[in-house]
Amino acid sequence: MEFMMVDRLPVPRLSTYISATVVSISAASYYSYKYSMDASTPEQSAIQDPSQTEDPIDVYYEQMLNVLAFMLQDPLCFLVLCNGAICSIVMVGAVIQSLVLGNLRPVEHIQFRERLWNWVIYKFIFMFIILKAYTLDKVALWLFWYSTLGFLHLMTSLCKDRFEYMWMSMGTGTRVNWKYIHMSVLLSIGFIFSLFLLNFAYLVGLTLSKHIFAFMVIECLMLAGSIAHIFLRHYIQLFHRNSINHTTSPGKFIYYSELGLDLGIRVMEILHYSHAIIWTNSYLTMAGFVIFMHMRQLISDIQKRLQKHKNFLWVHSHLEKNYPMASIEELDVNSDNCAICWEKMDSARKLPCGHLFHNGCLQSWMEQEPSCPTCRLSLTLGHDQNIPMNNTNNVGQDTLGTHALTPHHFFHFDGSRYLSWLPSFSVEVTHSLRPPSQILTSQLETMARQVLQLFPYYPMSMIIEDLLTTRSVDLTIDNILEGRLVSPLQNIEDEPAIIESVPTVSSVEQFINAPSYTKFNTNLGEPVIDDLVSLGSQFSKSPDERENILRVRKQTMIMKARQKYMSKVSSSKTE
Amino acid sequence: MAGSALRRLMAEYKQLTLNPPEGIIAGPITEENYFEWEALITGPEGTCFEGGVFPAKLVFPSDYPLSPPKMTFTCEMFHPNIYADGRVCISILHAPGDDPMGYESSSERWSPVQSVEKILLSVISMLAEPNDESGANVDAAKMWRENREEFNKIAEKLVRKTLGIPINP
Ligand SMILES: [Zn+2]
Ligand SMILES: [Zn+2]
C-alpha cells in the first residue's frame, strides 16, 4: 500500500527514539509508583501492626508488583510499556542490520523509511478499523503481532535490496561470499520465524475467531512467500552469472515456481483485503476505499504478469517451430560471438536472415520485440521469407551510417576491426596544424620571472596575463607601478571579502606552466601518468587497479585537452 | 537478468579499455556498481565544441543490453538534442517500443547489438551535427538555425567551462 506523503515523513534517529522511550518509561514508572504509593498508604496506616515486621525485600517486591499492576491498568502507562517492547525490537533490528548489512546506502535508507511508514500507517488503519482493537489486551496482542511481522518484513526487504545491489557489482571474492552467506542465514531465520508466527496464529488467533486466524495465516504466508521469492531470484541470478554459454535457461521448474510465487503472493494479498472488507462490511468507508485502490493495483500487476507469461510462451513456441538450431558446420563458419551477450556460441538458433544467436538471448529479446537484433528483420509470422538473405548488413549499417554520410567527417571508426557485424565509418580527419607554442611560453616565463623579482607579491598568472597584452617587461612594470595592475594580495588588506571572488586560476598560461593543477592532481603521482601509453592497452584483473587506471586516463585526457586548448588560445592571441 | 548484463558490461569495459576509440573514455564510476558509468567525450574537431571534454553519466537497466541505457551530461550543455537537465535525446538511446518524437524509423533505435562505444560515437556525431528536428532544447535548436555565431560563442564558453579555464575578458 502506497501513501503519497510518506516520503516526507522523517524517521527519528535511533538514539533519539531510544532515549525518548527510556525517558517515557521512567516517567511512567515514577508516576505509577507515586500513585500506587498514595493509594496504598491509607490501607497500610489502617492496618498498623507493629508485631508484623515484614522482610524489606518482600515489601520491595510487593511494591514492584503493585506498580506493575497499576501500569498495566492505566492505559497511558500501558502504551508506554508497549512502546518499550517495540523499542527493544527496533534495537535488535539495528544490531542485526549493522552486523549483517553494515551501513545502509542512501537509496536503501530512503526506501526503508518509506516502507516503515507505509507499514505503520497501514497497520494502524487495519488494527483500529478492521480488527477493532479497542481493549488494552487486544491492542497489546496486535502491537506485538504487527511489530514482529513488520520487523521481519523490513529485514526481508532490506536483504532483497542488498541482494539486488550486489548482483550489480562484479565482486566475487570471499568477502562477498561471506556477505551472501550472512544474508542467506538471516533470511532463513526470517523464514523460520514466519513459521513460528504461523504457530502463534494457530494458538492465539484460532481462540479469538476464525476470521482473525485467517488474517494471521495469510500475513505469515505472504512473509514466507516473499522470502522464498528472494531465494529463488537469487538462485536464478547466480545461474545467469555462472553459466558460460547461454544455451540453457534456468529450467522450466524454476521459471514456473517463480511465476507461481509472483502470482501467489499477489493473489493472497487480494484475498486478504477482500476478506477484510467483507468481514467488516466496510465497503463505503474511507478504509474500504484505500483498500480498493490497492486491490486495483494488485489486479493490474497480475494481469501484466500473465501477459508477460503468455508472451513468453508464444515466443518460445514460435522459435521452436520456425527457426531451427544452427548446424555444427554453420557454427564453425561463423566465428563471431553472440551479438547480444558478446560471448562464444557453442550452439545457436539461426534466423532466416542468417544471423545466429544464443537461444536464451534471442528468447529474451524476442519477448521484447520480435525482430532480428542485428538487421531488424521482422520475425512475426508471415514475414519470414520476404526479405532476401543478402540484406543482412545494410540496414544495420544505416543505424550509424547515416552519420557518416553527412558532410562533416571527423572521426575514424572501423567497426569490422572488432566484430564483422559492426558498421564502418568513412572519415576524413582534418588536423589544423598550429605552430608549437613552447618557445613562446618559455619566453613569457623568463619575462615574468624578471617582473616577479621586483614585485614578489604579484601572482605569476597575473603577470603573465599582463605580459600577454603588453609583450614587454618594462610596460608591465609600468602598469604595476601606476596601479593599473592590482595584486589580489593587496586586496586582502583592504577588503578581505574580495579574495573569495578572485578565481584560483586567473591566467590561462598557468596551466601550461603547471600541468599538475591541484584540482586534477591525485595521490597517484606523475610516474603513473607517464606510463599512460601502456595503460591504454591494459585491462587489469584487480578492480582497484582498474579503477585507478581509469581515473588516471580520465585526468590525462582532461589535462591534454586543456594544454591543447591553451596552446591554441595563446597562439591565436599572439598572432 | 542482472547476471548476464554484468558480464556484457564487463566485456564492453574491457574492449573500451584495450581498444579505446579516439576521444572517448568510459568506465564504471566505481567497481562496486557496474550499472553506472561515467564517460568523457571530446568535442569533435572542426566543430564549435572542439577541444572540450564533456563528462556524461550512463545508467544501465538490469536487463541491458535488451534495453538501452540512459545518458545524461553532467556538465552544462547547450545543444538542440540535449535537454536542459543534460539528458541526451538521440534515436539510438530509444527503446524500440517508445517513440516520443514520432519521427524515428525503428532501424535507428536501440537493439542489443548496439554498445556503449556506438552510443558515444553517435553522441559525438550529434555534437558535430545537431538534429534540429527533435527539439529537446528548443532555444538551442532555434539559435543553431538562426544565429550560428551566438551558438558558437555559447559552445566556446561551455568548452572552457569543462576544461576549468576561466572565460577571458
Ligand atoms: Zn548470447
Ligand atoms: Zn538478421
State the catalytic residue, choosing from B5, B56, B89, B127: B89
Residue of B nearest to A363 (CA): B66
pLDDT in tens, A219-228: 999 999 999 9
Q: What is the mean pLDDT of residues A368-386?
A: 72
Determine which of A55-64, A87-96, A495-504 has the lowest per-residue pLDDT on average: A495-504
Among A138-142, A283-287, B121-125, the range with the most confident prediction by mean pLDDT is: B121-125
> Does residue A532 have a pLDDT over 90?
no
Alpha-carbon distances of A68 from A141, B36, B80, rounded to whole Å:
18, 57, 73
Shortest CA gap B111–chain A (Å) = 5
- Provide the residue ranges of all domains of chain B, joining segments of one domain with +: 2-163
Per-residue confidence (pLDDT) for residue A126, from 0 to 100:
82
User: Which cell numbers hold the place of A316?
Assistant: 518460445
Please tell me which residue, A279 or A304, carries the higher pLDDT value.
A304
Shortest CA gap B58–chain A (Å) = 14
d(C-alpha A286, C-alpha A521), whole Å: 61
The length of chain A is 575
Distance of alpha carbon A279 from the chain centroid: 40
Long-range contacts of A333-339 (CB under 8 A, 24+ apart): A336/A419, A336/A420, A336/A421, A337/A419, A338/A246, A339/A373, A339/A374, A339/A419, A339/A421, A339/B112, A339/B113
For residues B46 and A430, the answer to whether their CB atoms sit within 8 Å is yes
Distance between first and last Cα of chain B: 53
For residues A550 and B18, the answer to whether their CB atoms sit within 8 Å is no
Confidence of residue A297 (pLDDT cuts 50, 70, 90): very high
> Does residue A451 have a pLDDT over 70?
no
Q: What is the mean pLDDT of residues A143-167?
A: 89
For residues B75 and B162, the answer to whether their CB atoms sit within 8 Å is yes
Amino acid at A9: L
Residue of B nearest to A365 (CA): B66
> Does residue A87 have a pLDDT over 70?
yes
In three-state form (DSSP H/G/I as H, E/B as E, the rest C), the secondary structure along chain B is CHHHHHHHHHHHHHHHHHCCCCCEEEEEEECCEEEEEEEEEECCCCCCCCCCEEEEEEECCCCCCCCCCEEEECCCCCCCCECCCCEECCHHHCCCCCCCCCCCCHHHCCCCCCCHHHHHHHHHHHHHCCCCCCCCCHHHHHHHHHCHHHHHHHHHHHHHHHHCCCCCC
CA of B7, nearest ligand number: 1
Q: What is the mean pLDDT of residues A486-509?
A: 41
d(C-alpha A533, C-alpha A135), whole Å: 77
d(C-alpha A305, C-alpha A307), whole Å: 5
d(C-alpha A403, C-alpha B124), whole Å: 10
Per-residue confidence (pLDDT) for residue A224, from 0 to 100:
93
Contacting residues of A for B44, CB less than 8 Å apart: 408, 410-411
Q: What is the A338 CA–ligand 2 centroid distance (Å)?
A: 12
CA of A353, nearest ligand number: 2
Residue A420: CB partners within 8 Å, gap ≥ 6?
Answer: A336
Kindly compute the dihedral angle of the four CA atoms of residues B56, B62, B63, B67, in this order, to the nearest 10 degrees: -30
From the list A342, A400, A519, the residue facing B122 with the nearest CB is A400
Determine which of A185-189, A271-275, A405-409, A490-494 has the lowest per-residue pLDDT on average: A405-409
Q: How many CB atoms lie within 10 A of CB B157?
A: 12
d(C-alpha A180, C-alpha A162), whole Å: 10
pLDDT in tens, B15-36: 999 988 988 999 999 888 889 9
The answer to whether A105 faces chain B, any CB pair under 8 Å, is no
> Does residue B73 have a pLDDT over 90?
yes
The answer to whether B27 faces chain A, any CB pair under 8 Å, is yes
Give the bridge partners for B25, in sequence order: B40
Mean pLDDT, chain A, rounded, equals 73
**How many beta-carbon pairs under 8 angstroms link A with B?**
195
> Does residue A124 have a pLDDT over 90?
no
From the list A168, A421, A537, the residue facing B2 with the nearest CB is A168
CA of A350, nearest ligand number: 2
Confidence of residue B115 (pLDDT cuts 50, 70, 90): very high
Q: What is the B22 CA–ligand 2 centroid distance (Å)?
A: 29
Per-residue confidence (pLDDT) for residue B58, from 0 to 100:
95
Per-residue confidence (pLDDT) for residue A436, from 0 to 100:
36
> Does residue A360 have a pLDDT over 60?
yes
The yes-or-no answer on residue B75 being catalytic is no
Per-residue confidence (pLDDT) for residue A573, from 0 to 100:
74
Q: Is A94 exposed, middle or buried (0-12, 13-18, 19+ CB in 10 A)?
A: middle
Per-residue confidence (pLDDT) for residue A454, from 0 to 100:
59
What would the DSSP string read from start to end of A100-127? Answer: II-SPPHHHHHHHHHHHHHHHHHHHHII
Q: What is the A379 CA–ligand 2 centroid distance (Å)?
A: 9
User: Which cell numbers hold the place of B37?
Assistant: 558509468
For residues A353 and A323, the answer to whether their CB atoms sit within 8 Å is no
Confidence of residue A476 (pLDDT cuts 50, 70, 90): low
Q: Which of residues 174-193 of A touch B (CB under 8 A)?
A: none
Per-residue confidence (pLDDT) for residue A36, from 0 to 100:
74
Q: What is the A310 CA–ligand 2 centroid distance (Å)?
A: 25
For residues B144 and B132, the answer to whether their CB atoms sit within 8 Å is yes
Confidence of residue A407 (pLDDT cuts 50, 70, 90): very low
User: Which cell numbers hold the place of A410?
Assistant: 571527423
Q: What is the A351 CA–ligand 1 centroid distance (Å)?
A: 14
CA of A356, nearest ligand number: 2
Please tell me which residue, A158 or A523, carries the higher pLDDT value.
A158
Per-residue confidence (pLDDT) for residue A243, from 0 to 100:
63
Per-residue confidence (pLDDT) for residue A51, from 0 to 100:
52
Q: How many CB atoms lie within 10 A of CB A24?
A: 18
> Does residue A151 have a pLDDT over 90?
yes
Residue A396 CB-half CA count within 13 A? 26
The answer to whether A538 faces chain B, any CB pair under 8 Å, is yes
How many percent of chain A have pLDDT more than 90? 15
Name which of B33, B110, B97 is nearest B68 in CA terms.
B110
From the list B23, B44, B163, the residue facing A558 with the nearest CB is B163
Please tell me which residue, A460 or A305, carries the higher pLDDT value.
A305
Per-residue confidence (pLDDT) for residue A419, from 0 to 100:
43
- Kindly indicate whether the domain formed by A439-496 is annotated with CATH number 2.60.120.10: no
Q: What is the mean pLDDT of residues A350-373?
A: 88
Please tell me which residue, A363 or B2, carries the higher pLDDT value.
A363
Q: What is the mean pLDDT of residues A546-557?
A: 90
> Does residue A530 have a pLDDT over 90?
no
Residue B106 CB-half CA count within 13 A? 15
User: Which cell numbers hold the place of B162?
Assistant: 569543462
Long-range contacts of A234-243 (CB under 8 A, 24+ apart): A234/A163, A234/A184, A236/B1, A237/A163, A237/A167, A237/B1, A237/B2, A237/B3, A238/B3, A239/B3, A240/B1, A240/B2, A240/B3, A240/B4, A241/A167, A241/B3, A241/B4, A241/B6, A241/B7, A242/B3
Q: Which of residues 73-102 of B touch A (CB under 8 A)?
A: 92, 96-97
What ipTM goes with this model? 0.88
Determine which of A129-143, A246-260, B6-20, B30-44 has the lowest per-residue pLDDT on average: A246-260
> Does residue A103 have a pLDDT over 90?
no
Please tell me which residue, A476 or B69, carries the higher pLDDT value.
B69
Determine which of A38-52, A153-167, A194-208, A471-485 has the lowest per-residue pLDDT on average: A38-52
Identify the helix (H) or strand (E) that includes residue A463. Answer: helix A460-470
From the list A170, A396, A557, the residue facing B10 with the nearest CB is A170
| Residue A130: DSSP 8-state | I
Shortest CA gap B139–chain A (Å) = 23
- Kindly indicate whether the domain formed by A330-340+349-433 is annotated with CATH number 3.30.40.10: yes
The length of chain B is 169
Decide if B18 and A537 are in contact by the 8 Å CB cutoff: yes
Determine which of A155-159, A245-249, A563-567 has the lowest per-residue pLDDT on average: A245-249
Among A24-28, A186-190, A276-280, A358-362, the range with the most confident prediction by mean pLDDT is: A186-190
Name which of A299, A298, A300, A279 is nearest A126 in CA terms.
A279
Confidence of residue A486 (pLDDT cuts 50, 70, 90): low
- Provide the residue ranges of all domains of chain A, joining segments of one domain with +: 330-340+349-433, 439-496, 502-575
Confidence of residue A464 (pLDDT cuts 50, 70, 90): low
The answer to whether B112 faces chain A, any CB pair under 8 Å, is yes
Contacting residues of B for A102, CB less than 8 Å apart: none
> Does residue B96 have a pLDDT over 80?
no
> Does residue A101 have a pLDDT over 60?
yes
The answer to whether B104 faces chain A, any CB pair under 8 Å, is no
Q: What is the A374 CA–ligand 1 centroid distance (Å)?
A: 13
What would the DSSP string read from start to end of A225-265? Answer: HHHHHHHHHHHHHHHHHH-SSTT--S-HHHHHHHHHHHHHH
pLDDT in tens, A42-55: 555 444 455 555 66
The answer to whether B24 faces chain A, any CB pair under 8 Å, is no
Alpha-carbon distances of B84 from B51, B68, B151, rounded to whole Å:
22, 21, 15
Decide if B40 and A364 are in contact by the 8 Å CB cutoff: no
Decide if A340 and B106 are in contact by the 8 Å CB cutoff: no
Determine which of A84-98, A369-383, A452-466, A499-513 has the lowest per-residue pLDDT on average: A499-513
From the list A169, A368, A418, the residue facing B66 with the nearest CB is A368
Contacting residues of A for B51, CB less than 8 Å apart: 561, 564-565, 568
CATH superfamily of this structure's domain B2-163: Ubiquitin Conjugating Enzyme (3.10.110.10)
> Does residue A517 have a pLDDT over 90?
no
Q: Is A85 exposed, middle or buried (0-12, 13-18, 19+ CB in 10 A)?
A: middle
How many percent of chain A have pLDDT more than 70? 65
Name which of A177, A175, A183 is nearest A156 in CA terms.
A183
